[in-house]
Structures are given as C-alpha cells and as structure tokens.
C-alpha cells in the first residue's frame, strides 16, 4: 500500500531532519575531540617550555650576552640545549 502524499512528505521531512541532526551531532563531536587534542598538545608544549626554562635557570652558562633580542637568546639556548653533547675524539 502506498502512503498518502502528505504522510510520505512528512516521513521524508522527518527522515531528512534526523539525518541532519545526526550529521551536526557528529560534526560537534569531531570538533570537541579536535579541541581536546589541541588543548593537550598546547599543554605539552607549555610543559616543554617550562622544562627548558628550568634548565636554563640551573645552567646559566647557556645565556649568550651577545644576542640583540631576548628571543634570539632563547632560540639559541633552546637549540644548543637540545643537541646531544659532542663526544671528545
């Protein structure tokens, strides 16, 4: 038996609406998981920076007084502190 046109239209409308709601819920869930992942990554970056700063306080010899800007000094120190020590030959 074929559904009357108004009933078929209502069913199609509700079906499309449910699909839209499911897609929107899925998108929101994806966005929340991306946000959580980004927050976690930023947290790890901050922890790494704090660790580098604490190492810098322990070993002030890494400071380069010839640097023109503070950011250059920090960049040089980060690069020099992240390299493994050179073994004597």
Residue at 55 is within a domain:
yes
| Range of the structural domain that residue 21 is part of | 5-81
Residue at 48 is within a domain:
yes
- Average pLDDT over the chain reads 76
Q: Identify whether the C-beta of residue 52 lies closer than 8 Å to the C-beta of residue 81.
A: yes
Identify which of 73, 35, 78, 25 has the alpha carbon closest to the alpha carbon of residue 55. Answer: 78
0.85 exceeded by the pTM? Answer: no
Could you give the angle at the alpha carbon of 22 between the alpha carbons of 15 and 12, nearest 5°? 10
Express as a percent the part of the chain with pLDDT over 70.
61
Q: pLDDT tens, 17-59?
A: 999 999 999 899 999 899 999 999 999 999 988 888 888 777 6
Q: How many domains does the chain have?
A: 1
DSSP string, 21-61: HHHHHHHHHHHHHHHHHHHHHHHHHHHHHHHHHHHHHH-GG
Residue at 86 is within a domain:
no
Residue 67 has which token pair? 């640097």
For tokens 């409308």, the residue is 13
């Amino acid at each position: 038996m074929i559904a009357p046109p108004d009933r078929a239209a209502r069913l199609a409308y509700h079906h499309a609406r449910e699909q839209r709601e499911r897609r929107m819920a899925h998108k929101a869930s994806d966005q929340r998981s991306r946000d959580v992942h980004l927050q976690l990554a930023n947290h790890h970056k901050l922890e790494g920076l704090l660790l580098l700063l604490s190492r810098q306080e322990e070993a002030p010899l890494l400071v380069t007084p010839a640097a023109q800007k503070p950011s250059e000094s920090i960049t040089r120190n980060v690069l020099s502190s992240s390299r493994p020590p050179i073994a004597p030959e």
